[in-house]
């Protein structure tokens, strides 16, 4: 289902994460790494050799947003690779060149997240695992919390909505007159079970966020001008886990890659997050 972009700037071909899950895997992106074809075993061996030279560094799993792919996370990958972290970015099911036809807003993609985490832990046993998700990828990470079963050292996300249907409702409010927006949204909620495996608002990140163990630190990043994942909704999510969470607000930022909106603040926030291990 999910396809992965590897971590040494190399491209390799079909890699099975788990039964029924099909992925095109890449090697590891390291300092000065260039793209060159090689088989899976060579890629793994090269990365393991590099990983063992820096035992204190952990692994980072990157999850893109709705409509994106692993390539959208490349700037973050490069940032982490320069600091010698092991990084894996996957293309979630029903996106990019991954298999799957139904985008159910991160619910099924939770299986991709769990499979990628398993892969990293097999390749780098004993290393802390960090998960960084954006929008839909963040929702998939929250939905995967039970499957990850406390194996993650810390989780960070940005542009995460309280419910998966919230962005639809917010868009309708912007583009339709009052009353009509609610009628349209009601129609979406009514018919979504016909086309999706789950209803538009169930399960929701707000319901599943408590699945993240209290021992796992969380960093929530949000733009103050995000009309899809509104700050008030993000604060509601934060309040549910505030005992082990931190909220960082990017002033004036919309629903966009926050590493590009304010690179300095994103860099500082990301590496403070990685230091939570």
175's CB contacts (< 8 A; 6+ apart) are 181
Q: What percent of the chain has pLDDT over 90?
A: 41
pLDDT (tens digit, 9 = 90+) per residue, 68-81?
999 999 999 989 98
Determine the pLDDT at residue 201: 61
Q: Residue 71 is part of a domain; what is its CATH number? A: 3.40.50.1820
Q: Could you please report the per-residue DSSP string of 152-186? A: -SEEEEES--SSTTHHHHHHHHHHS-TTHHHHHHH
Determine the pLDDT at residue 166: 58
**131 located within any domain:** yes
Higher pLDDT, 36 or 162: 162
120's CB contacts (< 8 A; 6+ apart) are 59, 61, 86, 88, 127, 129
Determine the pLDDT at residue 172: 60
- Cβ distance 79 to 259 under 8 Å? yes
Quick one: average pLDDT of 113-126?
A: 90
Residue 18: which H helix or E strand, with range? strand 11-18
**Rounded to whole angstroms, how far apart are CA atoms 148 and 146?**
5
**46 located within any domain:** yes
pLDDT (tens digit, 9 = 90+) per residue, 33-46?
222 222 333 333 33
Determine the pLDDT at residue 230: 87
- ∠240-241-242 over CA atoms, to 5°? 105
Q: How many structural domains does the chain have?
A: 1
pTM (2 d.p.): 0.77
Q: Which domain holds residue 257?
A: 3-164+201-274
pLDDT (tens digit, 9 = 90+) per residue, 163-222?
555 556 666 666 678 877 777 767 777 777 777 666 666 678 888 999 999 999 999 999
**52 located within any domain:** yes
pLDDT at 18 over 60: no
**34 located within any domain:** yes
**54 located within any domain:** yes
pLDDT (tens digit, 9 = 90+) per residue, 214-248?
999 999 999 999 988 889 989 999 999 999 999 99
Higher pLDDT, 154 or 41: 154
**121 located within any domain:** yes
pLDDT (tens digit, 9 = 90+) per residue, 265-277?
999 999 999 997 6
**177 located within any domain:** no
**173 located within any domain:** no
């Amino acid at each position: 289902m999910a396809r992965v972009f590897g971590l040494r700037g190399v491209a390799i071909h079909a890699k099975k994460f788990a039964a029924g899950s099909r992925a095109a895997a890449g090697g590891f992106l390291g300092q000065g790494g260039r793209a060159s074809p090689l088989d899976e075993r060579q890629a793994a061996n090269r990365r393991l050799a590099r990983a063992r030279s820096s035992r204190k560094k952990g692994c980072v799993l990157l999850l893109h947003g709705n409509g994106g792919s692993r390539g959208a996370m490349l700037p973050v990958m490069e940032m982490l690779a320069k600091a010698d972290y092991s990084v894996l970015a996957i293309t979630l099911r029903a996106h990019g060149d991954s298999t799957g036809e139904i985008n159910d807003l991160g619910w099924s993609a939770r299986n991709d997240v769990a499979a990628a985490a398993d892969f990293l832990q097999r390749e780098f046993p004993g290393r802390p695992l960090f998960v960084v998700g954006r929008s839909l990828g963040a929702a998939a990470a929250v939905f995967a919390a039970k499957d990850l079963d406390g194996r993650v050292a810390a989780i960070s996300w940005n542009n995460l909505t309280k419910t998966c249907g919230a962005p639809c409702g917010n868009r309708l409010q912007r583009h339709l007159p009052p009353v009509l927006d609610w009628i349209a949204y009601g129609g979406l909620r009514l018919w979504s079970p016909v086309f999706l495996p789950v209803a538009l608002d169930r399960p929701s990140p707000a319901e599943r966020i408590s699945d993240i163990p209290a021992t796992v630190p969380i960093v929530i990043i949000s733009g103050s001008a995000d009309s899809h994942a509104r700050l008030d909704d993000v604060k509601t999510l934060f309040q549910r886990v505030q005992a082990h969470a931190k909220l960082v607000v990017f002033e004036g930022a919309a629903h966009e890659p926050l590493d590009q909106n304010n690179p300095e603040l994103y860099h500082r926030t990301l590496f403070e997050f990685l230091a939570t291990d």
